[in-house]
């Protein structure tokens, strides 16, 4: 199999899921700003763009066509797109979705194409409806150069997919230094499975949705002491890029400042030094000592809540504020988790959730804290 790592002159990919927008409207992409970002990115020698059907309420692919495809020769960039497998209810749907994506992007082929957001259940469904066969056929027909999948599940589930699908050439995983040893995300375990199967990794969420770009307290002091002139995000991106089986690290860049920062240290990428690695371990240790809510996300509490409060999710949002301070990222996350569900202050203190919680958390009292934090 071709060594995909050799195709990447630089290890930073441009994620097109948080593009600059006009008036805060996610569907109205700021083309002028996006064009300037693309120009600076390409001028600095980078070439990988990653979009997907649902990004920006289905407007990202068209923005990529306007700002990238119609302004650059096709051999000046790599374009990655993803099959929204959850929309393919029967085999014929794959072709319809794929043709829509080619048209939206204005291209004849994709350099990289992924089955989007796979997990154990979705892999079985995609198998049953012919999704794996479809992407292989598109590759044979020259519509896709390289096939892979993005993944959110346990390392065991990843191993099952890779065992059943040796045709997969790469996998996209959520890897960042905070989640490296996490039992939920299993970054390290998933990375090791990919390595075992000789499958290169594209990293998504290296900065944990922007979280690791914000530091307060002791973690901030540790990183500042290393070098006061570089961003916190730079350590997170370089951490992921330093892993030898990583072929690319995606960053969802939202403005020109982020792009200039990311490209400055990824242009001539230098892996983390021993001293930097030790500092990051210390940061993780400090973060784990902070007084967060010990929710294991088992979700036993959720079903019986009359106010439909997404208890584990809002606890996670609160934990992020404890570790990283209150900021736009965790405020946005809390807003999403309470958009179609109850807010922390909707709790009527019925206590049904606490009766279910194996961790014996005082959920009612904790929700008061959450509510005060995001008030």
Residues that bind ligand SF4 (CB under 6 A): 295-301, 304-307, 309, 311-312, 347-353, 356-357, 359, 361, 363-364, 367
Residue 129 or 333 with smaller CB distance to ligand SF4: 333
Query: Cβ 259 to ligand SF4, closest distance in Å?
Result: 37
Query: Cβ 304 to ligand SF4, closest distance in Å?
Result: 6
Angle (deg, nearest 10), helices 256-266 and 232-241: 50
Residue 22 or 350 with smaller CB distance to ligand SF4: 350
- Cβ proximity of 250 and 206 under 8 Å: yes
Residue 137 or 364 with smaller CB distance to ligand SF4: 364
Residue 289 or 349 with smaller CB distance to ligand SF4: 349
Query: Cβ 374 to ligand SF4, closest distance in Å?
Result: 15
Range 275-284, long-range pairs (CB < 8 A, 24+ positions): 275/226, 276/226, 276/235, 276/238, 279/222, 279/223, 279/225, 279/226, 279/235, 280/177, 280/235, 280/239, 282/222, 283/177, 283/215, 283/219, 283/222, 283/223, 284/177, 284/178, 284/180, 284/181
- Name which of 214, 226, 179 is nearest 322 in CA terms: 214
Query: Cβ 320 to ligand SF4, closest distance in Å?
Result: 15
- Name which of 227, 246, 176 is nearest 12 in CA terms: 246
Length, in residues, of the chain: 375
Residue 279 or 314 with smaller CB distance to ligand SF4: 314
Residue 131 or 312 with smaller CB distance to ligand SF4: 312
- What residue has token string 């904790």? 366
Query: Cβ 355 to ligand SF4, closest distance in Å?
Result: 9
Residue 221 or 352 with smaller CB distance to ligand SF4: 352
What is the distance, to the nearest Å, from the Cα of residue 157 to the centroid of all Cα atoms in its chain? 18
Burial 190-228 (b: 16+ CB within 10 A, else e): bbebbeebebbbbbbbbbbbbbbbbbeeebbebbeeeee
Query: Cβ 310 to ligand SF4, closest distance in Å?
Result: 10
Query: Cβ 242 to ligand SF4, closest distance in Å?
Result: 33
């Amino acid at each position: 199999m071709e060594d995909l790592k050799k195709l990447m002159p630089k290890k930073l990919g441009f994620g097109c899921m948080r593009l600059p927008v006009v008036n805060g409207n996610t569907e109205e992409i700021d083309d002028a700003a996006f064009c300037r970002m693309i120009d600076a990115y390409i001028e600095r020698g980078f070439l990988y763009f990653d979009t997907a059907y649902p990004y920006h309420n289905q407007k990202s692919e068209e923005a990529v066509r306007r700002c990238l495809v119609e302004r650059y020769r096709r051999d000046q960039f790599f374009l990655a797109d993803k099959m929204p497998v959850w929309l393919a209810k029967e085999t014929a749907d794959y072709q319809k979705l794929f043709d829509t994506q080619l048209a939206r992007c204005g291209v004849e082929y994709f350099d990289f194409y992924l089955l989007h957001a796979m997990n154990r259940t979705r892999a079985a469904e995609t198998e049953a409806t012919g999704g794996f066969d479809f992407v292989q056929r598109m590759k044979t027909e020259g519509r896709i150069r390289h096939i892979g999948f993005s993944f959110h599940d346990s390392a065991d589930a990843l191993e099952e997919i890779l065992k059943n699908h040796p045709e997969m050439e790469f996998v996209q995983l959520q890897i960042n230094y905070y989640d490296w040893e996490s039992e939920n995300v299993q970054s390290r375990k998933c990375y090791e499975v990919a390595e075992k199967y000789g499958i290169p990794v594209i990293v998504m969420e290296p900065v944990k949705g922007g979280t690791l770009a914000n530091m307060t307290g002791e973690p901030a002091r540790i990183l500042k002491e290393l070098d006061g002139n570089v961003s916190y995000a730079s350590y997170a991106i370089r951490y992921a890029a330093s892993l030898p089986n990583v072929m690319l690290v995606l960053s969802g860049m939202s403005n020109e400042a982020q792009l200039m920062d990311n490209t400055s240290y990824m242009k001539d990428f230098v892996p983390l030094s021993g001293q930097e690695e030790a500092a990051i371990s210390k940061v993780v240790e400090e973060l784990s000592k902070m007084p967060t809510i010990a929710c294991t996300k088992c979700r036993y509490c959720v079903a019986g809540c009359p106010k439909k409060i997404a208890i584990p999710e809002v606890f996670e949002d609160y934990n992020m504020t404890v570790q990283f301070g209150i900021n736009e990222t965790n405020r946005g996350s809390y807003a999403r988790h309470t958009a179609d569900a109850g807010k922390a202050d909707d709790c009527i203190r019925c206590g049904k959730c606490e009766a279910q919680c194996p961790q014996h958390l005082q959920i009612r009292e904790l929700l008061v804290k959450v509510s005060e934090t995001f008030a």
